[in-house]
Structure 1
Amino acid sequence: MTVPNTPPDPAPADAQAPGPAAAPDPFAPPHGATALGAGTTPLGERLRSEAWVGASVVLACLVVGLVMSGLWAWLAPKVPLVVDGDRILYGDPEGEQRAGADAVFVLIGLGAGIVTALGAFLMTRRRGGGISVAVGLAIGGLLGSIGAWRIGRWLGPSTDLIGEARRVGDGGHFDASIDLGAMGALLVWPMAAMVVLLLLSAAFGKREEDPPPYWAPVAQAPAVPSVSPPAQAPTGTDFSAGPR
């Protein structure tokens, strides 16, 4: 007597045909990414990179400030003075040399702000700029203006009026030292750099891809079908005999 054919064991529940695919969650992150982002640069390395960029911008501004001091000492109009006995008088009492020195400083600072902002933008455009570029331009522009003011005074005519009067003698002429009458001129460079950097970033800055709309489907990981092993016939089963 042979054992009747027995049906194979039912497939486990996990191996059954999947039902209808569930609708993808539009707010779920893409496959392989996490909510905080995968593969991002460590915070410490990013801070060091930003600090290095900002320090480089400040150093470049200080170098430009040295050039600005020489230009100001050379181009600023000088106030003529005359020695009259024991008095020092203005050679041109109605002259506008003091205001002219301020105007020259403002114009040179405006040009320095444009040059430094353009250079910083071109050097950091590939990396997308960053807050360090703006902070470096603001700090570097202010320090560069202060340095140009102080070094320009040192490069210009002497501040020792008594010594200069004794040197030229009675009836002699000499120039007074250059100085700023309006200290707000020191802010022209950093303010101009900020405005130019903003305009360049808005017009030619690196663009980030717009995120997809919330209704767009998010790519999900392809489902891996589970393969169940083929069912084997029970041992000792005689297939040659038909059903009884």
Structure 2
Amino acid sequence: MARHVRPFAVTVLALAAAAVLAGLLWSWLSPRVPYQITERGLVLADPSTQALIAADGWFAVITGGLGLVCGAVGWYLGRRHQLAVLLGLCAGGVLGSFVTFWVGSTFTLGVVTVEAAGQPGVTIVPGVLALTASGVRVTWPLCAVGFFGLLEGMNGYRESPLRKPYGIG
């Protein structure tokens, strides 16, 4: 049991460290939603904006890509402790998604441009970076664990004696 704690912890910490960079990248690439300042507070300036969907899409692309990379690296490097690495990919992916969201929504990188058809005298400001589809937070662990399982299944099939049932070939 104790020998599996180290690979698990290393996997979780490596994914959390990668999540900081992923959050900064998400903040840099994602557009901000335009809001206008009214006497009622902030109101969505352009109801037909695609910026809400774009932020979710960039989050899914970044965390999904990292999930595939982490799954492949975890499978390749963690052959001796597969269960610990697999559980680390799952827990680290969940933690990584939350760290990515926190870093991306806290720090603003890149040029924040807001395009909206405002009326004269109306102040348009960029909104904070947020996720409207909270289900994209499972992209990282889902891709990491799924790709790890795919690679393990392909390797198991390739090495299986049942692949050549009669010893032919």
Q: TM-score range by the shorter chain?
A: 0.7 to 0.9
Q: Which runs of 5+ in 2 are unaligned?
A: 110-120, 162-169
**3-state SS of 1:82 partner:** strand
Partner of 1:238 in structure 2?
none
Larger Rg: 1
Partner of 1:139 in structure 2?
91
Partner of 1:123 in structure 2?
77
Residue 100 in structure 1 maps to residue 54 in structure 2: yes
Task: Note the alpha carbon deviations across 1:186-234, whole angstroms, 9 max, x for none.
Answer: 1111111111001111223698786xxxxxxxxxxxxxxxxxxxxxxxx
Q: Is the 8 A contact 1:50 1:130 kept in 2?
A: no
Measured after TM superposition, the shift of residue 84 of structure 1 is: 5.4
Partner of 1:161 in structure 2?
none
Q: Is the 8 A contact 1:137 1:193 kept in 2?
A: yes
Q: How many residues end up aligned between the 2 structures?
A: 150
Report the RMSD for the aligned CA atoms in angstroms: 2.4
TM-score normalised over the length of structure 2? 0.78
Within the candidate set 145, 156, 159, 2:108 is matched to 156
Partner of 1:27 in structure 2?
none
User: 1:73 is matched by which residue type in structure 2?
Assistant: S
Q: Is the 8 A contact 2:75 2:82 kept in 1?
A: no
User: 2:3 is matched by which residue type in structure 1?
Assistant: S
Separation (CA, whole Å) in 1 of partners of 2:157 and 2:76: 11
Seq. identity, %:
28
Task: Note the alpha carbon deviations across 1:2-56, whole angstroms, 9 max, x for none.
Answer: xxxxxxxxxxxxxxxxxxxxxxxxxxxxxxxxxxxxxxxxxxxxx2221111111
Q: Is the 8 A contact 1:101 1:179 kept in 2?
A: yes
Separation (CA, whole Å) in 2 of partners of 1:108 and 1:132: 24
Partner of 1:191 in structure 2?
142
Q: Which runs of 5+ in 1 are unaligned?
A: 1-46, 158-169, 211-244
Q: Decide which structure has greater helix share.
A: 2
Measured after TM superposition, the shift of residue 73 of structure 1 is: 0.9
Residue 69 in structure 1 maps to residue 23 in structure 2: yes
User: 1:145 is matched by which residue type in structure 2?
Assistant: S
TM-score normalised over the length of structure 1? 0.55
Change (3 A) 1:74 1:65: same
Separation (CA, whole Å) in 2 of partners of 1:202 and 1:105: 28
Separation (CA, whole Å) in 1 of partners of 2:156 and 2:16: 25
